[in-house]
Structure 1
């Protein structure tokens, strides 16, 4: 199935590349998500397409990536194909920061400008891109932890659910959660495991890693809550289980009484419309959201400016956060998406 996905992506790339060449001066800018079956990245695509429309034929937004997240190999292949086709610019959300750094050495040699968005490269590789555009990921973790602290001020047992062990953005979020609950800054992401600091301990078998496999994330949630009937907090660093809302509902509704009375702090990253519906239904106690639409939108304008000889954007360029609770659910999500 993955081979088929890559084949389709390569064909789409060839078609768009040929079209751009026949039209002459139109820039082809690739927006590369971690995977293309994710409603979070769909919003970034929509922002990219809006920029394409507003730039009135000056650019082509090429939204292309692997069908599934995986370990990042498929995404690296997509990037290698884009470099070979000599696209005019690349904006990528790296699945595997280390592997992507190696791939982007080819873009640097080819003179193709690169931005990262949503997730960044490792510190040693940041010279391979002009800037990072997206969320201050550490701050997502900080705000998730603050919501947890409001619900469980005395501490307790927590399970953090992450995207991928090699995803820099999720590791930074995990560090933000751990540091805030521990009351001390750790040296690097994903931070020091909670073993009693300020009353917080991580449950056995946690953190969990989903690799953006949404059915797996729901199964992990169900298994963890089932095995730990007194778990105090369950905190996904992305919207993984909520991205298949009916399956999430079936699990969360079993624990609605615990969510309602505050004995379970169920707090989740991201604020897509489907997630806000779950918050309003009382099936989470808080959501900390990013602005993926703005990421897709702004990267296209930044790449265009760079190709036109203007300076690169500020590094990093942060797109802001929305912190939502049941009380603020109607008004908490900012404009732009």
Structure 2
């Protein structure tokens, strides 16, 4: 059936290009067209599709990097005491004795033992996790496991502090670190390794080893298992070569076969580059242990009116140095 384009035009103002002669519009159709004009918008002009609908959110979460915590890589962590401990005491025993000339009726000469009880004070610290119900729901809409992320953040916060205590202890307590224990022997001083060539850097390490031999009166030798602590910046200098194109690291590995090198960022200090050469153990007794009372205590989960709260805590004893004579230190500046 053929459409009546003329009637459609007159009644609704709809015009189809049919190729036929144009039809003169009536006054009524002109009014309809005028009322339907696109130039008189009742809504805001369209500025395009909202960017929300063309934005792609990558589900992969990118972590912000923090300074590595590498002290525990150098020495073992060990539990001393518990959540209730206020003091941790150690027994240090020294054998004493003297001899005298033998005589059938002489009563001279006596052997004995002396014991001391040095102590350390633990420090307990805490952080909180707080999660609101609406906060959790909003994060879930974005594909984030918000509760898990906050638990990870709490563990990282506590462990960062623990690592710091292993190096510097806790001010005001009998709680010391690898860097500032008052029983450490004085550091030898040398020039910065950055100003040295490869041979001079190796000679500097030799001087540090000679200081360790002097402190221990020959109790250690080249075969003794040792750990050298230095900053990442100082470790770069181990790649320098001597006149025979042999780098420092190769020389160290050859002459100290049981030496382990661990980089710790905090060994770059304001006073200069700190380097420590530490005997791992002697006669089964470790030189250093990193002490804690609680590595992670998870306290009860408290339900609030529209959210949750939970405390996490730890306790540290710092670095327990049993025999300071087995640690030789050097400050290169």
Scaled by the length of structure 1, the TM-score of the pair is 0.25
By relative contact order (CA 8 Å, sep 6+), the higher-ranking structure is 2
Q: Of the two, which has the highest radius of gyration? A: 2
Answer 1 or 2: which has greater helix percent: 1
